[in-house]
Amino acid sequence: MHAREIEYQADDRSLIGTMYRPEGAGPWPGVVVFHEGPGLDDHAKERAARLAELGYVAFAADYHGGGVRLPMDQAMARLVELMGAPERIRSLARAALDVLLAESGVDADRIAAIGYCFGGTTALELARSGAPVHATVGFHSGLQTASPGDAAAIVGAVLVCIGADDTMVPLAQRTAFEEEMRGGGVDYRINVYGGAVHSFTNKAADALGLPVLKYHALTDERSWRAMIDLFDETFGPR
């Protein structure tokens, strides 16, 4: 597996992501990986590296700039700003997708987007834009959007994996998302995991000492397996 940083431009800033690719020439399915709200970190990079080990080219994208985590107050201010401007989220996501599609050996007919927390929101907005993404997966993902009618533009399957006790993605938001997906005629599924709250995939969440953020190993394993099942169903053997 090989990894290298790539600098690219979007939203009037320089972004730095990391491309991970398997050994060999491909063609490989490609996955763009969007990080949690604070910024690109070892969590998103580790997920991209795991995908490369399984035979995917995976690009750990950056939607803040500089390829780094922001202080929490700065990250939250930026996320609030972006939530009011879905076209900016989609532009950031599309720029990352274009980096992936430009990578040699990537099969443009086998493309996925995944994301964690606000990264899941970003992956979903990319899908709502009508981008050529054949599988979209959100982990403890914000599901709300300012443009629910755009679900009709989604061209691939959608999976969201949510903790049943996640107060940041409450039942009303899940219900609205399901209505949106149904109204758009989307091939979607919502996996809800008992005993899990927000950030259930991130071992570093526990260090924050916040009851709303907690790693949950079994849900992490189950949700990852659900993603791989969707990829196998969508892309076939690698």
User: For residues 54 and 30, is the Cβ–Cβ distance under 8 A?
Assistant: no
Q: Are 209 and 221 in contact (CB under 8 A)?
A: no
Model confidence over 196-216: pLDDT tens digits? 999 999 999 998 888 999 999
> Is residue 93 within 8 Å of residue 43, measured between CB atoms?
no
Neighbours of 2 (CB within 10 A): 10
pLDDT at 72: 84
Across 46-55, 73-82, 146-155, 218-227, least confident range = 73-82
Cα angle at 125 between 82 and 31, to 5 degrees? 115
CA 13 from centroid of its chain's CA atoms: 20
Give the DSSP letter string of 4-37: EEEEEEETTEEEEEEEEE-SS---EEEEEEE--T
Query: Which architecture does CATH list for 2-235?
Result: 3-Layer(aba) Sandwich (3.40)
Cross-strand bridge partners of residue 208: none
| DSSP conformational letter for 195 | T
List CB contacts of 79: < 8 A, sequence separation 6 or more.
Answer: 37, 118
Q: What is the mean pLDDT of the chain?
A: 95
Helix, strand, coil % in the chain, rounded to nearest 5:
40, 25, 35
Task: Please give the Cα distance from 112 to 101 (Å, whole number).
Answer: 11
The pLDDT of 150-158, averaged and rounded, is 97
Residues 236 and 216: their CA atoms lie apart, in Å, by 29
**Where exactly are the structural domains of the chain?**
2-235
Token output for 221: 């394993």
Whether pLDDT at 114 is above 80: yes
Per-residue pLDDT, averaged over 157-169, amounts to 97
Q: What is the per-residue pLDDT for 108?
A: 97
Of the candidates 79, 18, 13, the residue with the CA atom closest to the CA atom of residue 43 = 18
Q: What is the pTM of this model?
A: 0.96
Instruction: Say if residue 238's pLDDT is above 70.
Output: no
**Radius of gyration for the chain, computed over Cα atoms and rounded to the nearest angstrom:** 16
Q: How confident is the model at residue 84 (pLDDT cuts 50, 70, 90)?
A: confident
Higher-pLDDT residue of 75 and 102 is 102
Q: Nearest Cα to 117, choosing from 186, 177, 197, 189?
A: 197
